[in-house]
Amino acid sequence: MKKYVILGGNGVFGVHTARYLLEHANPKKVICVGRNPEKPEPFTLNVGRNDDRYAYHQIHIVFEIDRLLELLDSERPDVIINYAAQGEGAASWSNSWRYFETNAVAIARMTEELAKRDYLERWIQIGTSELYGSVNRPAREEDPIHPTSPYAASKAAGDMHLIAVSSVLNFPMNIVRPSNAYAPGQLLHRIIPRAVVAGLTKKRIPLHGGGKARKSYLHAEDLARAIHLIADSAPLGRVYNVGPEEPIEIRDLVEKLAAMMGLGMNELCEPSPDRLGEDWVYWLDSSLIQKELGWAPQISIEEGLRDMIKWGETYLDQLKDWPVEYIFRA
């Protein structure tokens, strides 16, 4: 029985990973850490409620590292899963140094301190497919990286630090580079939840660049299953891509969603200019994790979109007035 700490555990993917571990990993404890109080039910999905194996702590990993280390030393987790990051590449051209503060410097500080402890079996870093930039074939783990935003560059810096301390100092870590993940509970500045709520409230969303970009979409439950497999049996030091076999054009994705809600594309979308620094294709080769750990995605995009619509319908009264723009917080 393992004890897990999930940093960034107040975000949608931390929530789904906590739920997956509670349901499938027979954990001793799952402890989520986030910089803010827990979000309302549409975003926490009541994960961990009335389960004495679950706990949530509000700690800022940049400004309160002393409190974080006190918690870790008290709980002595076997596995730390780090989702905590400043996200949203398009927004990172402003306050870009904040992205490095969270996505690189905080990792260096935490791992240097944890290397002095004897309880940690594995640090699992959640990276990003954006490191590879726009590609014309599935990117492999050993491919050169081409970050095209301060966000992606800061994530690359964090990864490079972890690879260095793993190879030289034997720090026990793995890196997961997932494709664009989504799931019920995702904030509304992301395309899928925003389109769901817009469709259910008869509003339209901007379709940047006509939706020509192709992205690879992965349900958070499939990502959580990959993390559980890595935590249990992956060789230390490995970097794993985690994504579906094929990307989908954003326009096709939204068109599927519109059809499921009985809408035409013009009823759901309106033209919008390209986003600054937009990468046109995110596409991963995930054959390494399939070969070594037997992972492959199990939730089709159609099943995942139905899941999102059901979530939107369930919580529409709370979601219809929720902000749809990205809000930057230090």
125 three-class SS: strand
Same domain for 16 and 136, yes or no, is yes
Q: What is the CATH number of the domain that holds 195?
A: 3.90.25.10
In a domain, 285, yes or no: no
Q: Provide the pLDDT for residue 70.
A: 98
**Structural contact between residues 224 and 298, judged by C-beta atoms closer than 8 angstroms:** no
In a domain, 170, yes or no: yes
19 closest CA partner among 167, 166, 184: 184
Which residue segment(s) compose the domain that 273 sits in?
Answer: 186-215+247-278+300-319
Residue 320 DSSP symbol: T
Contacts of 164 (CB under 8 A, 6+ apart): none
Distance CA 143, CA 139 (A): 6
Q: Provide the pLDDT for residue 86.
A: 87
Same domain for 150 and 259, yes or no, is no
Same domain for 72 and 157, yes or no, is yes
Same domain for 204 and 132, yes or no, is no
Same domain for 203 and 80, yes or no, is no
Predicted model pTM = 0.95
Q: Provide the pLDDT for residue 238.
A: 98
In a domain, 329, yes or no: no
Same domain for 108 and 197, yes or no, is no
Q: Which residue has the tokens 């492959």?
A: 296
| Other CB atoms within 10 A of residue 78 CB | 18
Same domain for 238 and 306, yes or no, is no
In a domain, 81, yes or no: yes
Number of domains composing the chain = 2
Q: Which residue has the tokens 């919580």?
A: 315
In a domain, 202, yes or no: yes
The number of residues in the chain equals 330
Distance CA 172, CA 165 (A): 9
Q: Provide the pLDDT for residue 209.
A: 75
Same domain for 92 and 192, yes or no, is no
Q: Provide the pLDDT for residue 321.
A: 92
**Structural contact between residues 132 and 286, judged by C-beta atoms closer than 8 angstroms:** no
Same domain for 203 and 93, yes or no, is no
Going from the C-alpha of 323 to that of each of 99, 148, 194, the distances in angstroms are: 22, 27, 10
In a domain, 83, yes or no: yes
Same domain for 234 and 195, yes or no, is no
Same domain for 19 and 107, yes or no, is yes
Q: Which residue has the tokens 């590609």?
A: 135
Question: Tens place of pLDDT for every residue, the chain, 330 residues?
Answer: 999 999 999 999 999 999 999 999 999 999 999 999 999 999 999 999 999 999 999 999 999 999 999 999 999 999 999 999 987 767 788 889 899 999 999 999 999 999 999 999 999 999 999 999 999 999 999 999 999 999 999 999 999 999 999 999 999 999 999 999 999 999 999 999 999 999 999 999 988 877 888 999 999 999 999 999 999 999 999 999 999 999 999 999 999 999 999 999 999 998 777 666 566 789 999 999 999 999 999 999 999 999 999 999 999 999 999 998 766 666
Same domain for 196 and 256, yes or no, is yes
Q: What is the CATH number of the domain that holds 130?
A: 3.40.50.720
In a domain, 55, yes or no: yes
